[in-house]
Structure 1
Amino acid sequence: MTATVLQVVALALGLAGAGTWATVATTRGPITRIGWWAPAMGAVVVVLGTAATTAGLWAHDWWFAADRVEASLPLSLIALVWFAVSLLRDLRRAGSPARTHASSPTRTAAWAGCAASAAGLVTALAIGAPASPWAIGAVWLLVAGATAIVALAQAKTRSRRPLAAVIAGSAAVVIAAATAGIVAQSQPDPLVAAAHQHGASAAAVTGESPLQGYPGSGAPTSVTNLRDTSTAKPDVETTLEARQSDATLPSGTVIPVWSYGELGGPAIEATVGDTVQVTLRNRDIADGVTIHWHGYPVPNGDDGVAGVTQDAVRPGGSFTYRFVATVPGTYWYHTHQVSSTGVVKGLYGTFVVHPKAAEKGLDVTAALHTFGRTLVIGSTDRPDIRTVAPGTPVRVRLINTDQLTHTVTVSGTSFRVAAIDGSDVGTPTDVKGESLKIPAGGRYDVAFTMPEGGARIDDAASANAYLGFVTRKDAEPPKATPTTRTFDPLAYGDGAFPAWSGRAFAVTDTLVLDRLPRLTEDGPGYAYTVDGAVYPQIPPTVVREGDTVELTIVNRGFDVHPMHPHGHRILVLSVDGRKPQAPLWLDSFDVLPGQVWKVAFVADNRGIWMDHCHNLEHAALGMVTHLAYVGVVSPFEHGGVARNDAE
């Protein structure tokens, strides 16, 4: 049984437990009758089922069960033992007509069970994991206080407290529990707090006032100094102007877009060893813009994250990015200022770096993007047909610039997955009849030899737009062929794993993904959390240059999270305990509900790097953390005069 199914079962048991215990507590019939015993036995079964379900969740990963193990389950077991002991005493006295009903202690124990079951729902749906001692204490306090108030309300002595005392006691418990819960979730921005601890010394060295980062004990480096400072003429040079306009698609549909000058962005291509220089100008995007080089290991100062590596470029302003193209592959660029709006509206483009030895054949780059409900491949919402001689090597670089996973099929020919996220696959073999699921931000390079009968590539998001390949101008591409299987990158390719991946890691960290009610920068909301917190309150993963780092990513929620660490490519170690058969290097990967990913990388690119969900709406609602190198600081701030807002 999957972790997600077990989570649903646990929530259902929580509801059932609260209901059955409440029924037991309010049933007034004799305890010797079936009408009283049925809900009582039901409550017992629910508690035992909850314990078994929690054990199953723990078997998947500790963080699926942590909140229940630390709070609601012990409370449920205590209530069950209390109920059993009190009930046995009642049964021994059941011979007396006056003792045929459940006593006040037994009913109070049932109410305690009800409160404990409700606490299981609260911890799962509101607190999450990892839960701080304050949060766990708040749950215990709330259950204990609620039980005490029930006991007080049920007291039948002459000195029974008036209703006002019950109300006052209830208010005190709620206030105390709420206060503990708020304290548990309130913490300063850890990146800012760390920098302020060493602010004076860092400023003296960098000449700036550091707002973020971990200066360490030595001389810190500002992100503004982690840039290419060469002055030679660049090999690839272009200017991009961000602007608003209306775009008319081949179908005649007119869509309002924000772009870097054209729909789908100008394609930027380079060769390994080239110096790339791109000047960004903002004509009229009021929110501001940047350029983030998605998946590419640029120097940190050119990462294009507003509020971390630069200020957003306001209308009339400009910023120049410059870096050396060090690795080949398929990448893309997009704004990282209010990106949940800007990327969706069209502020993106393709970036391809070719190896020094030119590849023969046809090379096609296709960005997949939806505007509203209209899929655009490149710049068209209609078939894009190309005439190719039979036997020609074809490489199609598919880039998902959307927020959600795209499902792509290849018809008319077998194909090879030549590269994923810019990294070549070792010894790719032929694939046929399998669909490709490309995560948000991800890239798949599909390669095939042009067949006589042609080929086509379809995206499930559209019945109108596709890529067609024919051998004659008057020929029709083949029909789309349905698939019954999905390509599995864990079971593909060949090659040796790096030696460091089999050794102890210098840094290990866990990121627990969830969706919980939190106080975000925009006010209370149903936020997307990492380790129970929202940006900017999420502690970063702190590393030193040269460290080997292992991250465990646990998805406790019910949404897919396409995670994207900046500045590094990561090696997949396992998915739900299943190891890849060959090295699988990624920078954008879907963590499905209930999944546990283990990934690793070498900290070989100094800076302060974002690590976030690339469903940018999730990022905008809090799912943003960072990878911070000790000794690196940033003078930029979230918000401020520049109104920086990376998501």
Structure 2
Amino acid sequence: MNTLSRRGFIAASAATLSAAAVPSLLLPVRPAHAQGHKVVTAGKRVIEVKGKPANVFGLTQADGSSGLVMNAGDNFRVTLKNLIGEPTAIHWHGLTPPWRQDGVAGISQEPIPDGGSHDYDFPVARPGTFWMHSHFGLQEQLMLAAPLIVRDPDEAGQDVQEVVVLFHDFTFRDPKEILAELKAGGHDMSAMAPAPAPAASGHEGHNMPGMAMGSGQMDHGTMDHGAMGGMQMGGGQMAGPAGAMSHLQDVQYDALLANDRTLDDPEVFTVEPGGRVRLRLINGAASTNMWLDLGQLQGRLIAVDGMPVEPLEGQRFEFAVAQRLDIMLELPKQASAWPILAVQEGGRMRSGIVLAARGASVGKLADMADEDFPAVGVGLEQKLRAARPLDDKAATRKHTMMLGEGPNYVWTLDGAMHGQDKPLAVASGDRFELTFMNHTTMSHPMHLHGHHFQVVAVNGKRFAGAVRDTVLVPAKMGMVTIAFDADNAGNWALHCHHLYHMAGGMMTSMAYAD
């Protein structure tokens, strides 16, 4: 079912690819291997998007499989080779390694030069759906990302088919040109925050507008925040949060991708009618929040960001940048084909994969939904409850962090851009409560490295929410409180996972006193 079709021709004819280039197709993950040393290569590849070849990056093993699969209890013994033609650093998003193995250029390690390699070795305790991506420059926009799946050995005997999907937003443009235009006042305001849609099965309460997010990382020592003029709203100047309308997208994309493919040629997974499927879904977009749309299927959400939640039934789920959804499906007994789609917030662009019974007809799928989807907000977040919440104890340290914006595409934390910021202080043993208060016109997916946290309040309302590593903070005075135990000493990145916001300065670190 996974024929390369036109892709095979494009990959074969791409004379510029090196001998170590990775395949143009993101392969489904392989069964977990016995514990041992693995080699992951960051390399160049060519994929097809809308009938045109595109030069991108990728992360593969020697057998051509994309990303990594391992078991909880294994050691993460990995050599990362860099063959992309420039320095890089790869972050193991969702894992909690020792600080110096977190893969963040300028904070936990030096960038790996082109042609160089770096060794990692640390225990992996928790199972979950995680991922890996560049934490250097704007490389994540060029698709330097892949799944990182840690399976639970206790679930090995279950009769469940696993389907892994990495979503991405794609542009043919150079991301450096995009960032330069944003700094020069080219703020794309084409997607304003739409009115909330009526609640559907699996989501409700979308009264807070959500914005486009992303992932990746800049070279923290060389960010250019030069004055280039103000951000624009339509044809007018953005005045800041006071009186400014919230908006959703900074960047216009050419397509959304699912496992490197558009709906012109989606990946088709053969499934058994009446069988069970576990979807492991990763929003690896640089700056696009999405809705996960199961169509005619009813799903049971069992984990977010790799951490289990009390099961939640639904057909549509909010899916912010860098977040992951694990959804269990009980397929109908009638042989058919079932699209699994991701749709951009505030718009209609979509991508996805197809689950199909053997011999079922797979019809052509439009790459646009029939109607605009609403902004991604905190409706789902407010409904989630952790299956294994933090121990009940009082916070020993609290901090409210202000999320801000300014002219020239500047984004700040506590009033400072990265490079001018003061690290957030923490001490081993703290129960830390961190409140994000968003004074900006866009929402921000905030990610803390090296820890998992529990969402304990949204807009001041307390509840025992999901355990996560990335949480969306709504625009225009939205407020989210997280709690975590300070149990992994080091100096940890804390940032917005919207790639261009992070490049605009919305990043700091959390430094242990010990």
TM beyond 0.5: yes
Q: In the alignment, which of 289, 302, 318 is matched to residue 437 of structure 1?
A: 318
Q: Deviations over 1:544-588 (max 9, x none)?
A: 1111101011000101111100011111111112334x4411111
- Aligned residue in 2 for 1:364: 163
- Aligned residue in 2 for 1:420: 304
- Aligned residue in 1 for 2:176: none
8 Å contact 2:73–2:123 — kept in the other structure?
Answer: yes
8 Å contact 2:39–2:79 — kept in the other structure?
Answer: yes
Q: Distance in 2 between matches of 1:584 and 1:422?
A: 11
Code of the residue aligned with 1:344 in structure 2: it is: Q
- Aligned residue in 2 for 1:515: 405
- Aligned residue in 2 for 1:475: 361
CA displacement at 1:275 relative to structure 2:
1.3
CA displacement at 1:298 relative to structure 2:
1.4
Change (3 A) 1:246 1:494: closer
CA displacement at 1:265 relative to structure 2:
7.6
Q: Distance in 2 between matches of 1:600 and 1:492?
A: 15
Change (3 A) 1:457 1:604: same
Where do 5+ consecutive residues of structure 1 fail to align? 1-232, 518-524, 632-647
Q: Distance in 1 between matches of 2:416 and 2:341?
A: 39
The normalised TM-score by structure 1 is 0.55
- Aligned residue in 2 for 1:326: 125
Aligned runs of 1:204-603 on 2, under 5 Å? 235-248=35-48, 252-261=51-60, 266-286=66-86, 288-338=87-137, 341-357=138-154, 358=156, 359-372=158-171, 373-381=254-262, 382-402=265-285, 403-426=287-310, 428-432=311-315, 435-451=316-332, 452=334, 453-461=336-344, 465-476=351-362, 488-493=380-385, 495=387, 497-501=389-393, 503=394, 505-517=395-407, 525-580=408-463, 582-593=464-475, 594-603=477-486
1:611 aligns with 2:494: yes
Aligned runs of 1:614-625 on 2, under 5 Å? 614-625=497-508
CA displacement at 1:495 relative to structure 2:
4.9
Q: Distance in 1 between matches of 2:51 and 2:390?
A: 51
Q: Distance in 1 between matches of 2:69 and 2:132?
A: 12
8 Å contact 2:42–2:58 — kept in the other structure?
Answer: yes
SS state at 1:266 partner:
coil
Q: Distance in 2 between matches of 1:311 and 1:571?
A: 31
Q: Distance in 2 between matches of 1:499 and 1:362?
A: 33
Task: Say what the alpha-carbon RMSD is for the aligned residues.
Answer: 2.6
Q: Distance in 1 between matches of 2:118 and 2:390?
A: 38
8 Å contact 2:343–2:350 — kept in the other structure?
Answer: no
SS state at 1:398 partner:
strand
Change (3 A) 1:510 1:465: closer
Code of the residue aligned with 1:272 in structure 2: it is: A
Q: Distance in 1 between matches of 2:388 and 2:343?
A: 34
SS state at 1:441 partner:
coil
SS state at 2:461 partner:
coil
Percent identical across equivalent pairs? 29
CA displacement at 1:483 relative to structure 2:
10
Q: Distance in 1 between matches of 2:461 and 2:361?
A: 45
Q: Distance in 2 between matches of 1:413 and 1:241?
A: 37
Code of the residue aligned with 1:587 in structure 2: it is: D
Code of the residue aligned with 1:347 in structure 2: it is: L
Q: Deviations over 1:230-257 (max 9, x none)?
A: xxx98143222323343235x5321111
Q: Distance in 2 between matches of 1:393 and 1:604?
A: 37
Aligned runs of 1:104-183 on 2, under 5 Å? none
Q: Distance in 2 between matches of 1:465 and 1:529?
A: 32
Q: Distance in 2 between matches of 1:266 and 1:562?
A: 25
Code of the residue aligned with 1:508 in structure 2: it is: K
8 Å contact 1:416–1:446 — kept in the other structure?
Answer: yes
SS state at 1:619 partner:
helix
Larger proportion of strand:
2
Q: Deviations over 1:267-310 (max 9, x none)?
A: 20001111122211222432x11110112111111100111111
Aligned runs of 1:34-49 on 2, under 5 Å? none
Code of the residue aligned with 1:577 in structure 2: it is: G
Code of the residue aligned with 2:307 in structure 1: it is: S
8 Å contact 2:343–2:351 — kept in the other structure?
Answer: no
CA displacement at 1:477 relative to structure 2:
7.0
- Aligned residue in 1 for 2:249: none
- Aligned residue in 1 for 2:512: 629
8 Å contact 1:240–1:281 — kept in the other structure?
Answer: yes
Where do 5+ consecutive residues of structure 2 fail to align? 1-32, 172-253
Q: Deviations over 1:203-225 (max 9, x none)?
A: xxxxxxxxxxxxxxxxxxxxxxx
Q: Distance in 1 between matches of 2:152 and 2:363?
A: 31
8 Å contact 1:331–1:443 — kept in the other structure?
Answer: yes
Change (3 A) 1:496 1:334: closer
CA displacement at 1:475 relative to structure 2:
3.0
8 Å contact 2:70–2:149 — kept in the other structure?
Answer: yes
Code of the residue aligned with 1:411 in structure 2: it is: G
Change (3 A) 1:483 1:244: closer
Change (3 A) 1:234 1:610: farther
Q: Distance in 2 between matches of 1:454 and 1:621?
A: 43
Change (3 A) 1:406 1:570: same
Change (3 A) 1:273 1:497: closer
Q: Distance in 2 between matches of 1:507 and 1:265?
A: 44
CA displacement at 1:328 relative to structure 2:
0.4
SS state at 1:312 partner:
coil
8 Å contact 1:302–1:321 — kept in the other structure?
Answer: yes
The normalised TM-score by structure 2 is 0.69
Q: Distance in 1 between matches of 2:48 and 2:445?
A: 31
Number of positions where the alignment pairs a residue of Structure 1 with one of Structure 2:
381
SS state at 1:257 partner:
strand
8 Å contact 2:389–2:467 — kept in the other structure?
Answer: no
8 Å contact 1:236–1:270 — kept in the other structure?
Answer: no
Q: Distance in 1 between matches of 2:506 and 2:116?
A: 29
Q: Distance in 2 between matches of 1:383 and 1:463?
A: 15
Q: Distance in 2 between matches of 1:478 and 1:430?
A: 28
